[in-house]
Amino acid sequence: MREVAVIGVGLTKFGDRWEAGIKDLAAEAGLAALEDAKIISSEIEALYGGIMSSGRFTDQEHFAALLADQIGLKHISAVRVENACASGGSAFRLGYMAVASGMHDIVVVGGVEKMTDVTVNEATTALGGAGDQEWELSQGITFPGLYALMARRHMHDYGTTQEQLASVAVKNHGNALANKYAQFHRKITIDDVMKSKMIADPLKLLDCSSICDGAAAVVLAPMEIAKKYTDTPIKVAGSAQVGDTLRLASRDSLTGIAATRIAADKALAQAGVERKDIDLAEVHDCFTIAEVMGVEDLGFYNKGEAAKAIAEGETMIDGKLPVNTSGGLKGCGHPVGATGVKQVVEVVEQLRGDAGARQVNGAEIGLTHNVGGSGATVVVHVFRRAD
């Protein structure tokens, strides 16, 4: 396979984007990525778009072709990718594979979701499609409920506390303060989280990521021509996607996501790096317990040790392993189709040295971790500076 590089990135502001429709958001991010790559539309050969539920949220299906049209791409291959909250990460992997295989040279990968034009109940129903309708959703469980089950079991087995979970939210909101694209620019405290409304015991409102709008996009090219477009190409060093049972009840464990562990092993092996080599990670924190389990399943911490480490500051921007420097899903926002691509944008900016106040000193290797549903799809990518 050919080596592949990210040569351009684009992002919209995440949040309640009442002034913009889904087409506007997609075009904003896509055009920004093309401009960043200093590329013209006629050079693009294919597009992969991560969108979870545009039909339910906006009544618009057939979205990849519409996205290509919105950013001026005519007569190209345009494919929509749906893998729940991992739609963006899966779209990126397909774009990477298309370039690595030699099938295409220049590819755009986008992710978008417009979630705020429907009621909360309608949004909850749409998001519930990421679970097993017959065995979970029709029985009354919600996604906060599924992750609450994981949290309770983790607390039971390892002594994890609600205050330790709250420290995840505090850290990620703090990181989001320095991200102009983030939904939330408000510092919160452990006490704020503990006093927020209970959603699904033990998860409170400030333990949960938000319903919001946003889009992200990147441009991929083979490494041999990447420097034609940018002085700082970022190599896609490893890529893996792994699945598991859709329903939580069929898993071997409630305190972790096996697909994360397997995907991480594969991506790191392909990249030829060890966990100790990773300088920063964007980890899927749809709920605070998800980040705790994520860094354990990725192999950065042993089971039961991550919550304490996070509470003690080890995953801060200046810590041992910076996690979610963008603010994560919790602070930056979680427009589900866009999240996996947004994670890539953050790591690319970090490895370029363009992250401003969020910059991790000396960052050379980064990792993204995107989860669909309660862990039925996991996508892990490893990136490194090409120089």
CB within 8 Å of 133: residues ≥ 6 apart:
none
Helix (H) or strand (E) holding 330: helix 328-332
Quote the CA–CA distance of 98 and 94 in Å, as a whole number.
Answer: 6
pLDDT tens digit string along 113-129?
Answer: 999 998 888 888 888 88
Task: Name the nearest CA neighbour of 53 among 120, 127, 110.
Answer: 127
pLDDT at 132: 83
Using DSSP, state whether 137 is helix, strand or coil: helix
Q: Which of 68, 11, 24 is nearest to 45 (CA)?
A: 68
Residue where the block lists tokens 């000193």: 361
Q: Which residues are catalytic?
A: 85, 334
Residues 6+ apart with CB under 8 A from 311: 163, 164, 167
Is 55 or 180 the better-scoring residue by pLDDT? 180
pLDDT band at residue 379, thresholds of 50, 70 and 90?
very high
* Per-residue model confidence as pLDDT tens digits over 93-106: 999 999 999 999 99
Q: Residue 85: CA atoms inside 13 Å, Cβ hemisphere, count?
A: 30
Beta pairing partners, 281: 323, 367
Q: Round the average pLDDT of the chain to a whole number and report it.
A: 95
Decide whether 4-119+212-234 matches 131-209+236-385 in CATH topology: yes
Question: Residue range 257-261: average pLDDT?
Answer: 98
Look up the CATH superfamily of 131-209+236-385.
Thiolase/Chalcone synthase (3.40.47.10)
Least confident of 33-42, 130-139, 159-168: 130-139
> In CATH, what number does 4-119+212-234 get?
3.40.47.10
The residue that leads in pLDDT, 274 or 55, is 274
Whether 308 has a pLDDT exceeding 80, the answer reads yes
User: pLDDT per residue over 4-16, tens digit each?
Assistant: 999 999 999 999 9
Q: What is the pLDDT of residues 276-290, one digit of tens each?
A: 999 999 999 999 999
In this predicted structure, the answer to whether residue 387 has a pLDDT above a threshold of 80 is: no
Q: What is the pLDDT of residues 22-35, one digit of tens each?
A: 999 999 999 999 99
Q: Can you spell out the DSSP letters for 237-300?
A: EEEEEEE--SSGGGSS-SS--HHHHHHHHHHHHHHT--GGG--EEEE--SBHHHHHHHHHHTTS
Structure confidence at residue 285 (pLDDT): 98
- What Cα–Cα distance (Å) separates residue 291 from each residue in 104, 129, 253? 35, 22, 16
Domain ranges of the chain: 4-119+212-234, 131-209+236-385
